[in-house]
Every structure is written in structure tokens, then in C-alpha cells.
């Protein structure tokens, strides 16, 4: 059998090359296992390091031309294609899991933000954290990560639709209460009908279309079914790039403030993950039924927080930075957890 590592020379050279090849194989194995985490980091670093601004400029152009919405539609179209009837029935019937997730989304997250507000910080940073805290879960990344980690994607889908629908009623009250902690006030108004229509257009309709495609065109699923989770993860990377492009200039100009925000959002999301894990242990859930609680209970959608920041607190641009950095940091943290839960194996589309 031919070795991947060949050398000419003495024993010392041979031993050195053997050690080098062994280390390279370990590195490649690690990269293959944590490819999503590596890709997330690379997207952020490359966009930030591009002095020409070409990458960020392209991301901004795409964002202005409906690329994020189209991306989400494709994710849920593929998610519908991947859903099995058994998985869908299990997800719809798991009311207990939905309630446990709601505790983290609507109770624990705002309470943690209230505690963090007691730490002396810039008002804009605190407002940004409050915006993050009252948000519902992400429309796409939580579902993709739940599936990639071997969890029930259908339950994550139900959670996304339910939590985003309920949030149009909870956000005005929760955000107003949090602002009291810093002596601020704001009249929060949300176009409920517009958000409901957006959820239907971006989530429910493409999901239904994907399920119909699987039913009528089984050959499509046979060709790409085993690749759907991987494709969706690449689409999440695309969303991260668009978000990072939006705040690249602010990141470069903010200096030490960025470091403070990164530390804060890291610990904030870490505590949400710990809370989610405690809720999982309390519910006694096993693998396959716990992942959606962990990811959907901790992730926060970005677009709505940006809309509220721009409309309510334009005088605090650093609040926007908090929203974007939290989004990126929680995807990186959860990306690591996905690889740990999923292991080195390929996660099948029906898991």
C-alpha cells in the first residue's frame, strides 16, 4: 500500500516527516469535523480584512436586492423536501417541548438582559442587548442547526412559526419594561399583519411547496435528500456574510467597544444555552427531542431587531452593532455545538 507521506533521507528526516504528516491528518480531521465553525469564522475574517471593501460592498448590494428573503425561502423549500411524515407528526405533537422553549425565549432571555443592564455600560450597548433579548428565534438558522445536530426539524419549524407569531404581541410590553431599568422609554409599535404575512411568505408557503415536491417528485429527493442539511448550512453562511457586510465599517471604527460587546454577547448567549440545557434536563428529553429546545430557545432573529433600532433609537448606532455581533457570535457558538452533537458522522435528512 502506498503511503501518503514519502521521503528520501535518513531516519531522523523520516521520523520528522512522519510526525508532520500525522499532525496534518489530525488537523484535516478536525477541520472536516468542525467545517461549519471554520467557515463561519472565515466568512467574518475575510469580510473584515478585505481592505478594498469589495466583499462588504457585494454583500450590501445583495442585501438591498432581496437576497436574504430569497435565501430563507430556499432554506425552507429544502427543509420541506427533507421532512418525513413521522418527523412532522412528532414535531406538531410536542407541545411540552414548545412550552419549555417558550420559557427560554420569552422569560429567561429578558430577565438575563435585565440583570446585565445592572453592569455599568454605555446606554446604547444596553439598548442593543434589550432589543436582542425580546426577539423571537431566527427564522432559518435554528431550524437548520437542529436538523444538522440530529434533532427534530419539524419541532423547530413549529417553534419558529409560533414564537415569531406570538412575539408581535410580547415585544412592545417586554421592551418597554426593560427600558425602565435604564430610565428610558419608547412607544413600540409593530405592524402585526405585515409580520404574519412575512412568516407565511418566507416560511409556511415554501415549506408546503417543498413537501409537495417530495410527494409528487420523489426522484428529486432521491438525488439531493442526503445533501440538504449541508446545503442549508452553506445558505446560513451566506446570511452571516450579508449581516457582517452591513456593519463592517462600524466594526473597524469602534475599536475597544467591539471587544466589550463581544464579551457581553458571548456570556449572554452562553447563559441562555445553559438555561436551555437545564430545561432539557428538567424535561428528561433524550437525543432527537432536545436539540430544538437548545437552539430555538437561544437564537434570536436579526432583521426585526434592526428595524426597531433604526426606527426607535437611531441616536444609538452602537445598539445596531450589538444586534449584529450577537447574531454572529451565537451562530459561531451554536455551530460548534452542532458539530459536537452531530459528531463526525453525516447527519441524514430524516433525523
Q: pLDDT (tens digit, 9 = 90+) per residue, 228-283?
A: 878 888 988 888 888 888 778 877 777 778 889 999 999 999 999 999 999 999 98
The answer to whether residue 24 sits within a structural domain is: no
Question: At a CB cut-off of 8 Å and minimum separation 6, what does 328 contact?
Answer: 40, 44, 240, 243, 244
The CA distance from 148 to 131, in Å, is 28
If one counts the domains in the chain, the total is 1
pLDDT, residue 5, reads: 52
Residue 23 in any domain: the answer is no
pLDDT at 126: 94
Model pLDDT, residue 236: 87
Q: Is residue 259 part of a domain?
A: yes
CB-based burial, 231-249: b 16+ in 10 Å, e otherwise: ebbebbbbbbbbbbbbbbe
Q: Enter the C-alpha cell of residue 300.
A: 434570536
With 0.75 as the threshold, say if the pTM is over it. Answer: yes
pLDDT < 50 stretches in the chain: 1-4, 7-9, 11-12, 344-351
Q: Nine-digit cell at 176?
A: 418597554
Distance CA 319, CA 126 (A): 7
C-alpha 206/C-alpha 80 separation (Å) is 7
Residue 183 Ramachandran class (φ > 0 left, ψ -120 to 50 alpha, else beta): left
Classify residue 347: in a domain, yes or no.
no
| 22: exposed, middle or buried (Cβ count in 10 Å: 0-12, 13-18, 19+) | exposed
Q: Which residue from 348, 83, 58, 336 is spatially nearest to 203, judged by alpha carbons?
A: 83
Supply 305's cell numbers.
431587531
Angstrom distance (rounded) from CA 279 to CA 273: 10
Burial (CB < 10 A; 0-12, 13-18, 19+), residue 87, is: buried
Name the grid cell of 293.
429546545
Q: Is residue 9 part of a domain?
A: no
User: Alpha-carbon Rg of the chain, whole angstroms?
Assistant: 22
Residues in the chain: 351
- Cα(296)–Cα(145) distance, integer angstroms: 9
Tell me the torsion sign for CA atoms 208, 338, 113, 315.
Answer: negative
Distance CA 285, CA 24 (A): 39
> Are the C-beta atoms of 226 and 220 separated by less than 8 Å?
no
Q: At 20, list the grid cell.
A: 508532520
Helix/strand number for the chain, H first, E second: 19, 0
Residue 6 in domain: no
Determine if residue 33 is left, alpha or beta; phi over 0 gives left, psi from -120 to 50 gives alpha, anything else beta.
Answer: alpha
Structure-block grid coordinates of residue 77: 423549500
The CB density around residue 275, as the number of other CB atoms within 10 Å, is 20
The residue segments making up the domain with residue 146 are 53-342
Considering the domain boundaries, does residue 92 fall inside one? yes
CATH code assigned at 295: 1.20.1530.20
300 belongs to a structural domain: yes
| Geometric angle at alpha carbon 131, from 125 and 132, rounded to 5° | 90
The values of phi and psi at residue 61, to 5°, are -60, -45
Which one-letter DSSP state was computed for residue 106? I
Amino acid at each position: 500500500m502506498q503511503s501518503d507521506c514519502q521521503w528520501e533521507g535518513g531516519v531522523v528526516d523520516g521520523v520528522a516527516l512522519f510526525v508532520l504528516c500525522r499532525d496534518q491528518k489530525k488537523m484535516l480531521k478536525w477541520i472536516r469535523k468542525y467545517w461549519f465553525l471554520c467557515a463561519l469564522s472565515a466568512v467574518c475574517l475575510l469580510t473584515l480584512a478585505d481592505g478594498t471593501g469589495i466583499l462588504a460592498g457585494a454583500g450590501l448590494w445583495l442585501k438591498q436586492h432581496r437576497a436574504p428573503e430569497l435565501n430563507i425561502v430556499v432554506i425552507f423549500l429544502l427543509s420541506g423536501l427533507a421532512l418525513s411524515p413521522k418527523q412532522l407528526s412528532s414535531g406538531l405533537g410536542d407541545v411540552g417541548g414548545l412550552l419549555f422553549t417558550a420559557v427560554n425565549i420569552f422569560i429567561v432571555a429578558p430577565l438575563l438582559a435585565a440583570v446585565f443592564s445592572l453592569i455599568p455600560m454605555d446606554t446604547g450597548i444596553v439598548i442593543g442587548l434589550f432589543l436582542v433579548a425580546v426577539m423571537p428565534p431566527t427564522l432559518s438558522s435554528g431550524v437548520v442547526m437542529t436538523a444538522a445536530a440530529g434533532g427534530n426539524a419539524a419541532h423547530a419549524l413549529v417553534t419558529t412559526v409560533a414564537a415569531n407569531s406570538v412575539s408581535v404581541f410580547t415585544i412592545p410590553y417586554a421592551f418597554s419594561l426593560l427600558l425602565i431599568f435604564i430610565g428610558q422609554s419608547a412607544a413600540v409599535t409593530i405592524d402585526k399583519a405585515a409580520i404574519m404575512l412575512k412568516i407565511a411568505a418566507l416560511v409556511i408557503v415554501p415549506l408546503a411547496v417543498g413537501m409537495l415536491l417530495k410527494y409528487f417528485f420523489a426522484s428529486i429527493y432521491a438525488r439531493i435528500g442526503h445533501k440538504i442539511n449541508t446545503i442549508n448550512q452553506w445558505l446560513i453562511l451566506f446570511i452571516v456574510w450579508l449581516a457582517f457586510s452591513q456593519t463592517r465599517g462600524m466594526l473597524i471604527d469602534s475599536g475597544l467597544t467591539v471587544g466589550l460587546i463581544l464579551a457581553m454577547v458571548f456570556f449572554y448567549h452562553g447563559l441562555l444555552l445553559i438555561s436551555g440545557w437545564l430545561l432539557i434536563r428538567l424535561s428528561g428529553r433524550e437525543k432527537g427531542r432536545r436539540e430544538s429546545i437548545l437552539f430555538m430557545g437561544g437564537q434570536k432573529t436579526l432583521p426585526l431587531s434592526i428595524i426597531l433600532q433604526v426606527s426607535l433609537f437611531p441616536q444609538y448606532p452602537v445598539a445596531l452593532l450589538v444586534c449584529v455581533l450577537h447574531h454572529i457570535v451565537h451562530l459561531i457558538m451554536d455551530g460548534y455545538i452542532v458539530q459536537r452533537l452531530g459528531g463526525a458522522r453525516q447527519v441524514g435528512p430524516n433525523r
